[in-house]
């Protein structure tokens, strides 16, 4: 019988963290095919993986993930969609129950970019 294991990443490396206005965040997400953002603890965000390579795949096998960037904006309350001042709208997925994303947002709130 198959055994199943849950093992979170040991390390996640993030190359760039970008704080945007709500309008800029929605505009950027709306231009992508998958126009959904995530929400956790008052933050609307999206993460973008680095281009896959054999070397990155090997690192992932050793519990390390590499992200190209995270974009985010403060968005106090969860709603199913977020709308810009120009009426662009994106879907919002509530990831509040994800330990990984809760940890990411807690860490993000300690970074200098949070206060800019």
Q: Is residue 43 part of a domain?
A: yes
Q: Is residue 100 part of a domain?
A: yes
Give the pLDDT band of residue 53 (cuts 50, 70, 90).
low
Q: Is residue 5 part of a domain?
A: no
**What is the span of the domain harbouring residue 54?**
11-111
| Count of domains observed in the chain | 1
pLDDT of residue 65: 82
Phi, psi of 50 (to 5 degrees): -75, 160
| Residues 80/92, Cβ–Cβ less than 8 Å | yes
The tokens for 82 are 């977020």
Q: Is residue 116 part of a domain?
A: no
Phi, psi of 39 (to 5 degrees): -130, 130
For residue 63, the 8-state DSSP code is T
Q: Is residue 6 part of a domain?
A: no
Task: Indicate the SS3 state at residue 43.
Answer: strand
Task: Indicate the SS3 state at residue 60.
Answer: helix
**pTM: predicted TM-score of the whole model, two decimal places:** 0.86
For residue 1, the 8-state DSSP code is -
Residue with the two structure tokens 């933050």? 43
Q: Is residue 31 part of a domain?
A: yes
pLDDT of residue 37: 95
Residue 111 has pLDDT above 70, yes or no: yes
Give the pLDDT band of residue 45 (cuts 50, 70, 90).
very high
Which residues fall within 8 angstroms of residue 35, CB to CB, at 6 or more apart?
29, 90, 91
Q: Is residue 24 part of a domain?
A: yes
For residue 6, the 8-state DSSP code is -
């Amino acid at each position: 019988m198959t055994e199943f294991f849950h093992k979170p990443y040991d390390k996640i490396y993030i190359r760039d963290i970008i704080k945007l206005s709500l309008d800029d965040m929605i505009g950027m997400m709306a231009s992508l095919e998958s126009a959904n953002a995530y929400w956790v603890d008052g933050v609307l965000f999206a993460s973008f993986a680095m281009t896959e390579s054999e070397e990155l795949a090997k690192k992932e096998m050793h519990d390390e993930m590499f992200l190209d960037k995270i974009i985010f904006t403060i968005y106090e309350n969860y709603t199913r969609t977020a709308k810009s001042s120009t009426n662009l709208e994106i879907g919002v997925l509530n990831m509040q129950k994800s330990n990984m994303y809760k940890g990411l947002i807690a860490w993000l709130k300690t970074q200098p970019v949070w206060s800019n």
